[in-house]
């Protein structure tokens, strides 16, 4: 399955170069000799590790129903962390943020992305989701799901 099946309004909207992630983000922390407090004191690095963990989990879960995970980045560096597609053509967009402080910004990005997609050709997204390290999962009034990584498997 390929994200190029999604139709965007801009002919430059899609990047095809793959994005690299750690299969196990703990390898990176071990190589960098980072301890838990080091990650807590460096939230940018912690966020990158969290994103790798989430992508790994998403790929594992989507394989169980023949799905695929890709990403979106346009010529202006606007990015969506993950696009989940099923073999039936249904799709959803996912932003990954470690903390609750980025919920509004991530929801805004997801809604902006939805506006870039030609839904006449590829359909409406089945969901827009923010995957977080927070404790609670809920649906926002704008329709964006905020999902805790701990509840993703459910």
Q: How far apart are CA 58 and CA 152, in angstroms?
A: 9
Q: How far apart are CA 151 and CA 57, in angstroms?
A: 12
- pLDDT, tens only, 2-25: 344 455 544 444 444 567 667 788
76 CB-near residues (< 8 Å, 6+ apart)? none
- pLDDT, tens only, 54-93: 999 999 999 988 999 988 888 788 899 999 999 898 999 9
- pLDDT, tens only, 94-146: 999 998 899 999 999 999 999 988 888 888 999 999 999 988 899 999 999 99
In percent, the amount of the chain with pLDDT more than 70 equals 85
- Partners of 84 in the β-ladder: 69, 92
- Domains in the chain (CATH in brackets) are 21-151 (3.40.1350)
User: If you count DSSP H runs as helices and E runs as strands, how many of each does the chain have, helices first?
Assistant: 5, 6
pTM: 0.85
Q: How far apart are CA 28 and CA 139, in angstroms?
A: 33
Q: How far apart are the first and last CA of the chain?
A: 24
């Amino acid at each position: 399955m390929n994200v190029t099946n999604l139709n965007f309004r801009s002919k430059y909207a899609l990047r095809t170069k793959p994005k690299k992630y750690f299969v196990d983000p703990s390898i990176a922390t071990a190589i960098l000799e980072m301890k838990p407090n080091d990650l807590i004191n460096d939230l940018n690095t912690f966020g990158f590790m969290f994103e790798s963990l989430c992508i790994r989990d998403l790929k594992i879960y989507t394989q169980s129903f023949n799905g695929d995970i890709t990403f979106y980045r346009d010529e202006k560096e606007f990015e969506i962390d993950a696009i989940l597609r099923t073999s039936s053509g249904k799709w959803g967009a996912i932003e990954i943020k470690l903390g609750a402080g980025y919920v509004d910004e991530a929801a805004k990005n997801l809604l902006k992305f939805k506006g870039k997609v030609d839904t006449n050709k590829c359909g409406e997204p089945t969901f827009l989701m923010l995957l977080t390290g927070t404790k609670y999962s809920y649906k926002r009034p704008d329709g964006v799901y905020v999902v805790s990584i701990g509840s993703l498997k459910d």
